[in-house]
């Protein structure tokens, strides 16, 4: 192999040679227009010229075939990147749709949940509290529509230090999760200047108890009862 072609057959060197192209888009267009296969002589010849190998120089057919194989792999990589970008765009569109749905349902959701046990003025939240963390506290609340209990995490937006838009995006991501080992998430909404997240209440004991093999049956029974 000549020095130029030897460098061109190396993918890393081929990337460096791309700096000599007038426009890198030219190679991408080449890959998009050509029907590449294991013996793509036409594409290999054009790529060789673009890499600085003059047309009509002494370059054997086998060497061009090898360069064609390199082009095949580059074309596959380009297609993979395009597919990945398309999937990322689909995920982004789904996330935006989830945020819009949260905004549309926010007004109705504010009046749907009440503390359980219930206090008429909602001043005493201690009886319903399940736990408290750095971002807020979690309470048992009853849905007025279906009468079931839910775990509602109340977060004060200023205390969380996260913009409302970011919280809504995170809630939309949680809504995409669907796995038997993940507590089911339902919705999020603004509630008296807070930002609650709603999930199922599963009264199955604490984590240490759940990790004890002897209590596995009892925990499973409690989870089934809570979801029934």
For 126-160, write each residue's pLDDT tens digit.
567 777 776 677 777 777 777 777 777 777 766 66
pLDDT band for position 5 (cuts 50, 70, 90): very low
Tokens representing 62 are 């086998």
What's the whole-number mean pLDDT along residues 11-36? 48
Please tell me the predicted confidence (pLDDT) of residue 20.
Answer: 46
Determine the pLDDT at residue 150. 75
DSSP state of 219: H
Distance from C-alpha of 26 to C-alpha of 47, rounded to nearest angstrom: 10
Q: Which residues are annotated as a binding site?
A: 153
Q: Which residues pair with 140 in a beta bridge?
A: 151
**Measured CA angle at 21 (ends 15, 24), to 5 deg:** 70
DSSP symbol at 134: S
**Is residue 49 very low, low, confident or very high in pLDDT (cuts 50, 70, 90)?**
low
> Angle at Cα 142 formed by Cα 139 and Cα 145, nearest 5°?
150
pLDDT tens digit sequence for 68-119: 566 666 666 656 666 666 676 666 666 666 666 655 555 555 555 555 544 4
Cite the DSSP H helix spans in 22-119: 25-33, 41-50, 61-110
φ, ψ for residue 22, nearest 5 deg: -65, -40
- Is 14 within 8 Å of 70 (Cβ atoms)? yes
Length of the chain: 228
Distance CA(9)–CA(110), nearest Å, equals: 64
| Domain boundaries defined on the chain | 3-87, 113-227
CATH for 113-227 is 3.30.200.20
- Residue positions forming the annotated binding site for ATP: 153
């Amino acid at each position: 192999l000549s020095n130029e072609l030897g460098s061109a057959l190396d993918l890393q060197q081929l990337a460096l040679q791309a700096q000599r192209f007038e426009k890198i888009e030219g190679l991408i267009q080449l890959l998009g227009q050509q029907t590449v296969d294991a013996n793509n002589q036409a594409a290999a010849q054009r790529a060789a010229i673009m890499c600085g190998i003059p047309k009509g120089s002494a370059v054997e057919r086998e060497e061009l075939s090898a360069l064609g194989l390199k082009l095949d792999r580059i074309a596959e990589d380009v297609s993979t990147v395009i597919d990945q970008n398309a999937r990322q765009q689909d995920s982004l569109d789904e996330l935006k749709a989830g945020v819009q749905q949260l905004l549309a349902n926010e007004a109705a959701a504010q009046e749907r949940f009440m503390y359980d046990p219930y206090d008429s003025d909602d001043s005493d939240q201690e009886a319903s509290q399940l736990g408290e963390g750095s971002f807020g506290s979690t309470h048992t609340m009853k849905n007025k529509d279906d009468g079931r209990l839910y775990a509602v995490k109340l977060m004060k937006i200023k205390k969380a230090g996260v913009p409302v838009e970011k919280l809504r995006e995170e809630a939309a991501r949680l809504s995409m999760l669907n796995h038997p080992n993940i507590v089911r998430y339902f919705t999020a909404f603004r509630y008296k200047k807070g930002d609650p997240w709603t999930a199922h209440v599963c009264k199955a004991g604490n984590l240490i108890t759940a990790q004890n093999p002897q209590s596995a049956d009892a925990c499973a029974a409690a989870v089934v009862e809570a979801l029934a």
